[in-house]
Chains A and B, each alone.
Chain A
Amino acid sequence: SAVISQKPSRDICQRGTSLTIQCQVDSQVTMMFWYRQQPGQSLTLIATANQGSEATYESGFVIDKFPISRPNLTFSTLTVSNMSPEDSSIYLCSVVHMDSYEQYFGPGTRLTVT
């Protein structure tokens, strides 16, 4: 398995501001993903974080709103830009190890936008 940490664990932000969420893994992984989970709902994939290149976004998510960086094999950031109350959600980082399909999730960042 992998030990994944996320910072911050939660935050309350004002409308129109931006928040950057960090994801750190304790070992090198092939793939890193960012998900969003509304309370009581399933997980929705935002994007795949690619090392050294632009992230690959899913339908409905754009780089201007959710810029992502992945400078190396163990670290990634997700920024939620120009936030609105609709962005209130849990944001989860996940990783896939180099030699397996297995995907592991971080503890999540609970974001509330007021």
Chain B
Amino acid sequence: QQQVKQSPQSLIVQKGGISIINCAYENTAFDYFPWYQQFPGKGPALLIAIRPDVSEKKEGRFTISFNKSAKQFSLHIMDSQPGDSATYFCAASNESASKIIFGSGTRLSIRP
């Protein structure tokens, strides 16, 4: 019940295309859903996050879509650029625990 399932494991997208990464959760107590971006040799960096009271959040080229009834959320990267090539982790937590449960990660490669 504590798992966050992430797919795909790896993704290759052409420059300018849309990258889509999907996650699903089971614990309905989760109320905070962040996405992290990690470059090789670096710690994960908070990219964007959403709470379940909204269905979408957009920051620049990055959008989170959230479907509370299906217990699914996804990250969309518009106009993908080679600099977006990194590993992306979805995650979930709840206020009382504050512990973040991470998905397994998606290695994204943007082809020039």
**B18 lies within 8 A of chain A by Cβ:** no
State the Cβ distance, A40 to closest chain B Cβ, in Å.
8
**How many A-B contacts at CB < 8 Å in the complex?**
48
Q: Which residues of A contact B98 (CB under 8 A)?
A: 30-31, 96, 101, 103
* Most chain B Cβ neighbours within 10 Å, of A1, A30, A41, A43: A43
**Within residues 36 to 87 of chain B, which ones have a CB less than 8 A from any CB in chain A?**
36, 41-46, 49
Q: Which residues of A contact B43 (CB under 8 A)?
A: 4, 92, 94, 105-108
**A102 lies within 8 A of chain B by Cβ:** yes
Q: Is the CB of A105 within 8 A of B45?
A: yes
Q: Which residues of B contact A105 (CB under 8 A)?
A: 36, 43-45
Q: Which residues of A contact B99 (CB under 8 A)?
A: 33, 45, 48
A103 to B42, CA, bound (A): 15
* Most chain B Cβ neighbours within 10 Å, of A1, A102, A105: A105
State the Cβ distance, B100 to closest chain A Cβ, in Å.
6
Q: Which residues of A contact B105 (CB under 8 A)?
A: 41-42
Q: How large is the interface on B (under 10, 10 to 19, 20 to 34, 35 or more residues)?
A: 20 to 34
Contact sample, A vs B, 28 pairs, CB 8 Å cutoff: A1-B46, A4-B43, A31-B98, A41-B105, A42-B102, A42-B104, A43-B89, A43-B102, A45-B99, A45-B100, A48-B99, A92-B44, A94-B43, A101-B34, A101-B49, A101-B93, A101-B98, A102-B46, A103-B34, A103-B46, A103-B93, A103-B100, A105-B36, A105-B43, A105-B45, A107-B42, A108-B43, A110-B41
- Supplied contacts A4-B43, A103-B34, A108-B41, 18 more A-B pairs, CB within 8 Å: A30-B98, A41-B104, A42-B89, A42-B103, A42-B104, A43-B44, A43-B89, A45-B99, A45-B100, A92-B43, A101-B98, A102-B46, A103-B98, A103-B100, A105-B36, A105-B44, A107-B42, A108-B42
